[in-house]
Structure 1
Amino acid sequence: MDLNYYDTLIAVAEDCPVDESTVPPPGRDGKKTIAVVQFEMLSDGPGELTQEDVLFETWLRRQEGLGAVPEAERAELRARLFAKPQACLRASPLPKKYGWGLLFDARGRVTLCPMESEDYRRIVAGSVPDVTVRRAMRSRRG
Structure 2
Amino acid sequence: MKDMNYYNTFIQVAEDCPASAAIIRKAKGESKTIPVIQYEMISNHPYQYTQEDVLFEVFAARNHISENDRVSAREKFFSKGQPCLRTSSLGKRYGWGIHHNAQGKVAIYAVESDDYIKIMNDKGITQVKAMRSKRA
Same fold (TM over 0.5): yes
| TM class, shorter-length | over 0.9
TM-superposed CA distance for 1:12, in Å, is 0.3
Runs of 4+ with >3 A deviation = none
Partner residue, 1:53: 53
**Does residue 1:140 correspond to 2:134, yes or no?**
yes
Provide the TM-score with structure 2 as the length reference: 0.94
In the TM superposition, what whole-angstrom CA distance separates every residue of 1:34-75 from its partner, at most 9, and x where no partner exists?
0000011011111100000000001000014x3x321xx211
Residues matched between the structures, number: 135
8 A contact 1:103–1:111 mirrored in 2: yes
The answer for unaligned runs of 5 or more in structure 1 is: none
SS in 1 for 2:67: coil
Partner residue, 1:19: 20
The answer for unaligned runs of 5 or more in structure 2 is: none
Provide the TM-score with structure 1 as the length reference: 0.90
Q: Percent of aligned pairs with the same residue?
A: 44
SS in 2 for 1:9: strand
**2:117 aligned to 118, 121, 126, which one?**
121
Cα distance in 1, alignment partners of residues 39 and 119 from structure 2: 21
SS in 2 for 1:101: strand
8 A contact 1:19–1:99 mirrored in 2: yes
**Does residue 1:90 correspond to 2:91, yes or no?**
no
